[in-house]
Structure 1
């Protein structure tokens, strides 16, 4: 089963990003009609970037690592509205539009051409959220897993294994100069957040085998889930404790 809804309607725009009509996703991507998309970057209080790994059911880039959120705009939506909706739908992050910083760059055109599969031509804006310490509940239809990484580690990984990341991840991060590497680089704190959740009200974090040897740079408390295979990061799971 493919996660993408091919009958979903998009606004079609002209070369000046002015809406001229609507068309289904399938035709938009088959014929290269111009449309709109928005990217959002979620940063932890430590300055780590949240990455999502795309669902294996995705038509494009299955199981590739991606930006925190990459979302097509629905008809009539603004870029900020689309970013806020994408955060809620894909990651369970509910924020007001005022929390979104940006656009980070002027509206720009991104093209993805895969012969016989897709011609994706989008006018894009990017936004960011800093200091997110709330819960994350990934939609398993859209997201295979998520993780926080430092910008330095993300850059190294993308250079070492470019095929593990989406084309638009490479393009947008380069356009943003990897945010100038302005965020502090905390000690290594590896973990993977898997979807679906371990149990209702919980988001399960897969612990690194060596996690006991690692310093927690944000000083969140670790609390074990029975069985010892998963842990909760205190600042993310206060509401999960009552589930």
Structure 2
């Protein structure tokens, strides 16, 4: 039995829904604005999960990034989409899912010319287990102290996804499990 192809929600510049399209056809050199989400997962010790994108990923293969990202399906609640992707991508069940940066939006172009163009609210969540990632999604993972993550991104921004750096910069008052509400 094959999986149903993912569909993304297309957006107008003001954020209103204008349609949908297969995910496989959206990420190109002329990617339309679409809805996504980003999630930062914290463990009971307050460390944040970072993942290295699989080398087979279409965009930013092999770079380190936030815990995971995804796209809510048309009509799907974002928190439900986060739970679905956490299980599929990382083998994790999450608790305390909360929006942290509701208005985050970005556009970035990777080295191959593929554009990410997303309205991408950022969430935090908690997990009590280590991830068991899908090989087609994640090459490596690590739990890091949030201060260590900020230092690593500042020292070598090229090793991380651009959206991770922008998200960390957008957090006001620091980036810890407590300050992000997780």
TM-score, with normalisation over the residues of structure 1?
Answer: 0.65
Question: RMSD of the alignment, in Å?
Answer: 2.3
1:119 CA drift (Å): 2.4
Residue 15 (structure 1) aligns with: 13
Please identify the structure whose Cα radius of gyration is greater. 1
Give the gaps of 5 or more residues in structure 1: 1-6, 185-243
Q: Distance in 2 between matches of 1:115 and 1:121?
A: 15
Q: Distance in 2 between matches of 1:54 and 1:114?
A: 13
Structure 1's 162 and 76: CA in aligned 2 closer, same or farther, altered over 3 A? same
Residue 146 (structure 2) aligns with: 151
Q: Secondary structure at the match of 1:100?
A: strand
Residue 77 (structure 2) aligns with: 78
Q: Is the 8 A contact 1:28 1:120 kept in 2?
A: no
Give the alignment partner of residue 180 of structure 1, picking from 170, 174, 180: 174
Q: Is the 8 A contact 2:51 2:66 kept in 1?
A: yes
Q: Distance in 2 between matches of 1:26 and 1:85?
A: 18
Q: Secondary structure at the match of 1:134?
A: coil
TM-score, with normalisation over the residues of structure 2?
Answer: 0.85
Residue 136 (structure 2) aligns with: 141
Q: Is the 8 A contact 1:54 1:143 kept in 2?
A: yes
Give the gaps of 5 or more residues in structure 2: none
Q: Is the 8 A contact 2:35 2:118 kept in 1?
A: yes
Larger relative contact order (CA 8 Å, sep ≥ 6): 2
Residue 240 (structure 1) aligns with: none
In the alignment, structure 1 residue 60 sits paired with structure 2 residue 59:
yes
Structure 1's 182 and 139: CA in aligned 2 closer, same or farther, altered over 3 A? closer
